[in-house]
Amino acid sequence: MQTNQTLEEKRISSWIVFLLAAACGLIVANLYYAQTLVGPISLSTGLTSAAAGFIVTITQIGYVAGLLFIVPLSDRIENRRLAAIGLIVVVGALLAAASAPNAPVFLTASLLIGLGSVVAQILVPYAAYLASEEQRGQVVGNVMSGLLLGIMFARPVASFITSIWGWRAVFTMSAVVIAILAVLLSRILQQRKPASTTSYRELIVSLGKLYRHTPILRRRALYQACLFGAFSLFWTVIPLYLTDMFKMSQQGIALFALAGVGGAIAAPIAGRLADKGWTRLLTGLAMTLAILSFVLTYFFQNNSATDLALLVLAAITLDMAVSGNLVLGQRAIYSLGNEARGRLNGLFMSIFFIGGAIGSSLGGWSYVYGGWNFTSLIGAVLPLLALVYFFTEKRAKSASEHRE
């Protein structure tokens, strides 16, 4: 097995980067398939309308739990083996979901799908570990592009498959894909055995210490929590708004969601520019772009083709802001060192994922009580809070923080 120094000096191959990017996208997509399938799943499993929203929520609960209690193990257990075990859990859970006869079975499977899907957050820091310092931002950006594409394609793909073969086919097909992926990763990826001998209990306890003593982690996580909250708010409400304002069908909404995929191009670009020292400028730009995306939709609210085009533009620019800032944040925390990289990533992702859950909740509430006007204002306020906090960032940083 190669030493850490040898691995740091070696440039990661484009083939491995592509494999990791595809893997992250395919894995994380499992968190989002059910979002557009709540109706047919509820009918099949006997869930009431009031409880139908729990289909998505319980998957998110499993994911956050995995970020906090499984991802830290990547700092102790050989990464390839840990990823394979997680993917086996996902395959079993997907098959259970596909054949679920009732709501309790489906919801239990959903929890396990979320729990096992944190393998994506083991593979991202693994990619950063393989990359040299000079190419780390670019590699993380490319891998995150795959992850973000998985998030954005999941909804329209699930709707499309369901319209032809039914919702159970979505989970069955994903189980087959993830099983193939598990075999590929276990055969192709090289081992990474962390040097840490810290016990699992100590790893979990250390999460609090890492959060308290790593200012750049707190800052970047809160930046991304605000932006991801705005992102989740937008994509939670936009199907309702498109239906109400533009009388759009489910297929039309799927096409709109596909348009937002264009925002993922910001991830690799942000990674390359961050390698050149542009992190601070790009961070402020991402927050400003997110604010302007909601401002644009606030002032143009007719049902004309022009207004729909501006809404598509806002979706793309918002996705660019969120995906670009995500890569900037991950590059910053991955530059803090190898030994705690898994725990740092778990904390970072869980914090901003909680921000996304809050954004989704705010979106549903704001649209019911104030329509798109109120929703777009809240959407603009979230990145504005991040921008205000950004202005408190000191230019002079310690050596460990400055490496972002």
User: Rounded distance, CA 28 to CA 159, Å?
Assistant: 17
Assess whether pLDDT exceeds 50 at residue 338.
Answer: yes
Assess whether pLDDT exceeds 60 at residue 121.
Answer: yes
pLDDT of residue 250: 66
Q: Indicate the pLDDT class of residue 98, thresholds 50, 70 and 90.
A: very high
Q: Do the Cβ atoms of 344 and 72 come closer than 8 Å?
A: no
Distance, first Cα to last Cα, the chain: 29
Residues of the chain above pLDDT 70, percent: 92
Average pLDDT score over residue span 20-38: 89
Q: Which of 101-115, 193-207, 382-396 has the lowest mean pLDDT?
A: 193-207
Nearest 5°: the CA angle 54, 36, 60 is 40
Residues of the chain above pLDDT 90, percent: 42
Residues 6 or more apart whose CB falls under 8 angstroms from that of 91 comprise 175, 178, 179, 182
Tokens of 121: 């957050």
The residue ranking higher by pLDDT, 300 or 154, is: 154
Residues 6 or more apart whose CB falls under 8 angstroms from that of 217 comprise 210, 211, 333, 336, 344, 347, 348
Assess whether pLDDT exceeds 60 at residue 1.
Answer: no
Nearest residue to 124 via CA among 229, 208, 271, 17: 17
pLDDT of residue 376: 94
pLDDT of residue 399: 38
Assess whether pLDDT exceeds 50 at residue 232.
Answer: yes
Q: Do the Cβ atoms of 61 and 1 come closer than 8 Å?
A: no
> Which pLDDT tens digit goes with each residue over 366-391?
888 899 999 999 999 999 999 999 99
Assess whether pLDDT exceeds 50 at residue 4.
Answer: no
Q: Tell which phi-psi region holds residue 146, choosing left (phi > 0), alpha (psi between -120 and 50) or beta.
A: alpha
Domains of the chain, earliest start first: 1-197 (1.20.1250.20), 200-404 (1.20.1250.20)
Assess whether pLDDT exceeds 70 at residue 311.
Answer: yes
The residue ranking higher by pLDDT, 160 or 109, is: 109
Average pLDDT score over residue span 293-313: 87
Question: What is the average pLDDT value for the chain, to the nearest integer?
Answer: 86
> Which pLDDT tens digit goes with each residue over 30-39?
998 887 677 7
> Which pLDDT tens digit goes with each residue over 240-293?
788 888 888 767 877 887 877 778 788 888 888 988 889 999 999 999 999 999
Rounded to two decimals, the pTM is: 0.79
pLDDT of residue 395: 57
Average pLDDT score over residue span 121-146: 84
Q: Indicate the pLDDT class of residue 56, thresholds 50, 70 and 90.
A: confident
Position 116, amino acid: G
Alpha carbons within 13 angstroms on the beta-carbon side of residue 165 total 10
pLDDT of residue 11: 67
Q: Which among 21-35, 125-139, 292-306, 331-345 has the top mean pLDDT?
A: 21-35
Q: Which of 59-68, 107-116, 213-222 has the lowest mean pLDDT?
A: 59-68
The residue ranking higher by pLDDT, 331 or 87, is: 87
